[in-house]
Structure 1
Amino acid sequence: MCVYYCLCRYRLRSKVEIESVTDDFSCWQRFGQVLTQKSSEEPDAASLGWGGGFDRSGQSSSQGNNCGWLWYRDPRLDCLGFRGIFPSNTTPPLVEADKETNEENYLLWRLEKGVAEGSAEIPKGEAVPLEYNLAGLNGISFDKGCYVGQELIARTHHRGVIRKRLLPLKFVNDSGKEVEQKVAPRSEVIDASSRKKAGTVTTALGSRGLGLLCLDEAFKGSLIIRGLDDVKVQTIKPEWWPAEWLSDQQEQTSTA
């Protein structure tokens, strides 16, 4: 619904009619394994990403195909699977019986991969795209387009000086057992010995979360939540991260 209102806001004087169909269609996500093979049954994801190809979903919609839209690979990471928009009163193709799951399980999967989405996790007007790893998630183009702050983002990217990044977090107690529902977004992550702030929890669900942390402090292994000294914070480097993201930071630290 928020997308509908945003579209209406920026329509300006264009002769375009915008109608909300949120009751008629639902968004689905297929996830749980790395789907890399292509077959006649798997969706063609060529229309996503910077390449831009034949948009079958757009054709399906414009021609009124009663099968709904098709599956398309999530452009951010292969491990996030496929997403599609289908009529709300039908089960999408390729969804096996008894394999539907709660949306919360997908959220946990995404948090474990270190991927934030939406204005609740990527604060509008505050977030620095490079700190939220959008350069590695097909979210920024450095060779086309113009936007507010483009020169700063491009200069920072090419210099490689990014001191904070969004990281997956796990919350545990002194014995290493996962701690559920004790940490809230905006909680401060601090070094247990120096009491120096290392960053902030941006998203929390159960014993998992995302945090924007200083890379100098993130992997020291002595992090806790301010005000909750019995809650330890374990940081996890996502497998999809380019090696230079940490090597560049280590080089900057040793030089300093």
Structure 2
Amino acid sequence: MLPSIRALARNVPTVAPVTNRAVISVTGSQAAEFLNGIVASSVPAHASSHFYSAFLHAQGRVLYDVFVYAQPGARGTPGYLIEHDARASDAPPLLPMLKRYVLRSKVRLRDVSDEYDVWAAWGSAREQAWETARRWAHALSGAAEPLWDSADAPPWGAEPGVLRDRRAVGMGHRLLVRKGDRPQEAATHDVADAEAYTLHRILHGVPEGVVDIPPMHAFPMDANLDVMGALDFRKGCYVGQELTVRTYHTGMLRKRTLPVAVHRSDGRLADGPLPQDRDIRAQLAALPEDAMPKPRPRGTGKLFSSVNGVGLALLRLEHVAAVEKGTASFEMETGDEKTKYNVTHWWPDWWPHTEEQAA
């Protein structure tokens, strides 16, 4: 990461609201079994454990990435709060979709978005007690899974309303608070705006929601859901499992969502809003006159969320490899005047590069 980009990070304890989020309550004696049959990760055995997961389409594409907060009932009956992106998208609304799966299950579903606000907190010493170095299980396809140490269990935490954000090292906590209230951290942390949180997760290479993980279009591993701990490749049947598991074991990942810096021609980071879903093209480097011409790189990347000249982009790994070898570069055009920008990717510090264990 370039020093100019690193300087954008907030290095003091910070808390910020996370906007455009909705919350669905799932309660009942069969709530755990109900969720386990439709989410892409395993529901923890302990009723108080939170987790991160995703709902997939039957053809294996992502519908929603979700945080699931355990909220057992007064008598210990299972209960969960599902936090998801509420913005309009190509995906069917989550609550009606879940109701179609209820059938005879003993569960109750209801929208409780008017009861909760979502916040994120990061940068405090509190996180150092549980945020340990990551270990990984790798597949030949290029997918990777975090291996949680038994001492870390439950890895996503069990404190009511407080979820450890383990999608990337340094992400901090996610907080559910009563509508209109501020979290306790507001008394000890700098209070920032929602854009600060977006910048925080971009710098950590963490896609989230319908902008970065386009519903009905994104494949789970393209959106880094494997390395962020949202997928279980060994659990029983769930919606979208077949293609996901087959890709993990016998496929080959061709795309990843990576953080990028967007530079003007003078080398400065772009300012102002950048258009979402803009094509990023790989351009071949200039060749010597006597060199054999090479075909233009096929396909394009896509820019997703961006703040202050940095963003998240879906990039073809063959293009990434060419750029890192110096045989190509990334470019993007915006506006009616086709203003050109140079685009530079980087791999997050926490990314699992080294194969430590074959799956």
TM range (shorter): 0.7 to 0.9
Residue number in structure 2 paired with 1:37? 129
| Residue 309 (structure 2) pairs with residue 207 (structure 1) | yes
Which structure has more RCO (C-alpha within 8 Å, separation ≥ 6)? 2
| Residue 344 (structure 2) pairs with residue 234 (structure 1) | yes
| C-alpha RMSD of the superposition | 3.0
Cα distance per residue 1:194-251 (max 9 Å; x no partner): 4754412133333121111111212516211145453100111111211148xxxxxx
| Residue 232 (structure 2) pairs with residue 141 (structure 1) | yes
**Distance (whole Å) between structure 2 residues aligned to residue 122 and residue 182 of structure 1:** 19
Alignment length (residue pairs): 224
Which residues in structure 2 correspond to 1:183-194 (within 5 Å)? 183-193=274-284, 194=296
Residue number in structure 1 paired with 2:212? 121
Give the unaligned 5+ runs of structure 2. 1-20, 25-92, 131-151, 285-295
Residue number in structure 2 paired with 1:65? none
Residue number in structure 1 paired with 2:85? none
Q: TM-score, length-normalised on structure 1? A: 0.74
CA separation of 1:23 and 1:153: change in aligned 2, threshold 3 A: closer
Q: Give the deviation of 1:116 after TM superposition.
A: 0.9
| Residue 319 (structure 2) pairs with residue 217 (structure 1) | yes
Q: Answer whether contact 1:188 1:197 (CA < 8 A) is retained.
A: no
Q: Answer whether contact 2:273 2:306 (CA < 8 A) is retained.
A: no
Residue number in structure 1 paired with 2:249? 158
Residue number in structure 2 paired with 1:180? 271
CA separation of 1:96 and 1:160: change in aligned 2, threshold 3 A: farther
CA separation of 1:28 and 1:199: change in aligned 2, threshold 3 A: same
Q: Give the deviation of 1:178 after TM superposition.
A: 0.3
Which residues in structure 2 correspond to 1:80-91 (within 5 Å)? 80-91=171-182
Give the unaligned 5+ runs of structure 1. 39-44, 58-68, 246-256
Instruction: Decide which structure has greater strand share.
Output: 2
Residue number in structure 2 paired with 1:170? 261
**Distance (whole Å) between structure 2 residues aligned to residue 150 and residue 19 of structure 1:** 26
Percent of aligned positions with the same letter in both sequences?
Answer: 28
CA separation of 1:177 and 1:33: change in aligned 2, threshold 3 A: farther
